[in-house]
Amino acid sequence: KVPAAERRKTSSELIHLMKLDGFADAYPKVLSGGMKQRAAIARALAGDPEVLLMDEPFGALDAQTRQIMQELLTDIWQRYRKTVLFVTHDIEEAIFLGDVIYVMTSRPGRIRTTLAVDIPRPRTFDTLTGPRFAELRNQVVGVIHEESLKAVESELARA
């Protein structure tokens, strides 16, 4: 069991890191979507996991909040160096956040392609306009397009 003083210290650090100062005692109904996501990440990190599993965590956020959350997640990764398994359908998000991208097949879901993201860190949003980012994006789009065509052909064959 973690001593109360250590729990309070960890909580305070994570609340500050997640830019939730002033909302430590707030009820969820008064938090924005981005604040709720930051609180969820803080809660996950509080247990000091070896791996942080994130399944479409920013999918419901508007574009500006999503961008802020992506930057925050990269800052958190720089600080804690946790392994993060991040599931997303957003190609740019995958390239910006990831070191390795796994493109899945449609039914049954298997790993079809593995791509190393060889863009140096720290990454900023200027990274999104770089030539290597564009190359990786085109590669991923191509693989997904091929896989989508196969899925449609398979569905038509079953019809």
Domains in the chain: how many in total?
Answer: 1
Q: Which tens digit of pLDDT belongs to each residue from 40-91? A: 999 999 999 999 999 999 998 899 989 999 999 999 899 899 999 999 999 9
Query: 83-99 pLDDT, tens per residue?
Result: 999 999 999 999 999 99
Where residue 47 sits, what CATH number does that domain have? 3.40.50.300
> Of 85, 142, 139, 148, nearest to 116 (Cα)?
139
In DSSP notation, 78-138 reads: HHH--EEEEE-S-HHHHHHH-SEEEEEPSSS--EEEEEE----SS--GGGGGSHHHHHHHH
pLDDT digits (tens, 9 = 90+) for 22-40: 999 999 999 998 899 999 9
- Nearest residue to 153 via CA among 91, 90, 107, 89: 107
- Domain limits at 81? 4-158
pTM here? 0.86
